[in-house]
Structure 1
């Protein structure tokens, strides 16, 4: 009877050792990959949060530089919203007089950016700056929404951002920014669906949209995303 290792058993043992070593190395490599992925996610989260805070700080800087822009954060009316209220909230940005000649978000933008309609009027200059602020906030919220979808922001963190809509969704200039971003295709479909749902669950916001941006209340609103190009909207002046 033979004893000891045969050639075949030695080969089998070596093969087993190689497999085990390979598995150990693969496990170590996987662990390193997971750690690196977690670190990258952590760094990405930090960068995203920093980016959002930087964008928010830009809002504070804009309102500090032009104090009348604080009118954007005026409290909503404590009664049913009317077109007279919409005009009032637009006029809050003005130094004097009132801004008339519009009935909805699209007409408001047409008046603000028509180069043949007293483009440099001080009231228009103020309202275009207010519209810039509205756009800045809209795309800040879209960035927060994208980060939430990517699991970079948790639900509680995201809520601190999207809550802006509850407070300013009724403002005609914010609705004008939403109108322009939607019809120009500057906002994503997911964000469009989400912000519509969020905005319309607030009674005052819904009433304002029903006056200023009626299409938002239509079931097929999302289908119009990006259907109008930038140059199709209005007569944009290169001086803006």
Structure 2
């Protein structure tokens, strides 16, 4: 019987993971399959985790936080982040939650950094932004969240002025703005203050170049999409499932 792995999420027909792992299994001649488990509410996960052929799961929007109550153990890093994107099934079906997003982000960001990067703006406050914040903390980069409805200690998009943009030379888009098919959308920040010292990192990978990235490029900034992060976190997932 084939080992089954899969992605848990909602509206995930576009899934990077399914394509990535299906190709991997074929190339490496592994007797495994990867499925999309598209569920409309988190309670539906019970049926999936009770299925004896399922050996591991990735978790995406909007369940990275909600799924925590369905696992038996949490890796210390996932616990600190407060979000899970990998679930390992051990032999007696105990489930352990991990976070490989922070690893994928950290390793894909490191080659892009320059010595002016001391502070970062994280655009958006969803599940993905938690892993990003944890990664920045490990890299000793100060960060501030930017939100449409800012909490205490967060900035509003209307607060972003020349001084802030000049000081925060790393800007990470953790919002869905600009994702296919709404490719004309982009975060509302004052791009006129972006310089060649800036790094603009978009977690979106479809399209390969977002308007957010284009606007950074026009100002000479270093830009990247989320594809490298996805590949690295997928490989880390595979490592977790198999150790």
TM-score normalised by L of structure 1: 0.24
- Greater RCO (CA < 8 Å, at least 6 residues apart): 1
Structure with more of its chain in helix, by fraction: 1
Greater strand share, 1 or 2?
Answer: 2
TM-score norm. by structure 2 comes to 0.24
